[in-house]
Chains A and B, each alone.
Chain A
Amino acid sequence: KAGVTQTPRYLIKTRGQQVTLSCSPISGHRSVSWYQQTPGQGLQFLFEYFSETQRNKGNFPGRFSGRQFSNSRSEMNVSTLELGDSALYLCASRVGTRDSFPYEQYFGPGTRLTVT
């Protein structure tokens, strides 16, 4: 079974621009979560989607948004990019039929975003 895929793998943007990152979950997985990883803050939860609905959101500004499509693929968007948005953005998927234990997530390789 194919793993979680993320595109693009690397991206360079200029401050003030916006960016869209894509995530394709493992086949059959309906929940997709997004995380940001930076050297200073580590891995931080952005949001989770299930059945096209955002179910949980981390403590990030409204410039960070996401959506999920009917085929469970997800995109996240960052508007008005800032230098501090440079990070590795990770997508994770799970079966996610409901908020039940256990909670095993499978992560993709990430998208490395550099803002200049």
Chain B
Amino acid sequence: DAKTTQPPSMDCAEGRAANLPCNHSTISGNEYVYWYRQIHSQGPQYIIHGLKNNETNEMASLIITEDRKSSTLILPHATLRDTAVYYCIVRVFNQAGTALIFGKGTTLSVSS
């Protein structure tokens, strides 16, 4: 099962910031938080990842709480092309290898 909880859907006006929350209260100390998004009928796209410090790249910012039990993905100026399903993932590690465990994600709808 996924180790994260996300709201099923969110709306955002074009040009405004989209703040997508994620709860991962059982995260282990050496697990990273990853965000991917999937635009309709395409493969998931990597957005950003972080351990405990806030991270920013050309696509988004990731804010992780000090206790690491939750995080927020921020799209600073959402556009219509940001309409997608956003997945918050905690990397699962085991001795045999690794896998990304996807939950149901948050469907972000950006409207003009």
Interface residues of A (CB under 8 A from B): 4, 33, 35, 42-45, 48, 50, 55-58, 88, 90, 92, 99, 101-110
Given contacts A56-B97, A103-B91, A105-B46, 15 further A-B pairs with CB under 8 A are A35-B102, A42-B103, A42-B105, A43-B44, A43-B87, A48-B98, A55-B96, A90-B44, A92-B43, A99-B97, A101-B51, A103-B34, A107-B43, A107-B44, A109-B43
B49 interface residue (CB < 8 Å to A): yes
Q: How far is the CA of A4 from the CA of B102 in the complex (A)?
A: 20
Minimum C-beta distance from B60 to chain A (A): 14
Q: Do A103 and B100 touch (CB < 8 A)?
A: yes
How many B residues touch A, CB cutoff 8 Å?
25
Cβ–Cβ < 8 Å partners of A99 in chain B: 93, 97-98
Minimum C-beta distance from A26 to chain B (A): 12
Minimum C-beta distance from A43 to chain B (A): 4
- Closest B residue to A110 by CB, please name it: B43
Minimum C-beta distance from B104 to chain A (A): 6
Cβ–Cβ < 8 Å partners of B94 in chain A: 56
What is the predominant secondary structure among interface residues of chain B facing chain A?
loop
Cβ–Cβ < 8 Å partners of B43 in chain A: 4, 90, 92, 107-110
B45 interface residue (CB < 8 Å to A): yes
Cβ–Cβ < 8 Å partners of B105 in chain A: 42
Q: Do B102 and A42 touch (CB < 8 A)?
A: yes
Contact of A105 among B41, B96, B100 (CB under 8 A): B100
Cβ–Cβ < 8 Å partners of B100 in chain A: 33, 35, 45, 92, 103, 105
Q: Do A43 and B46 touch (CB < 8 A)?
A: no
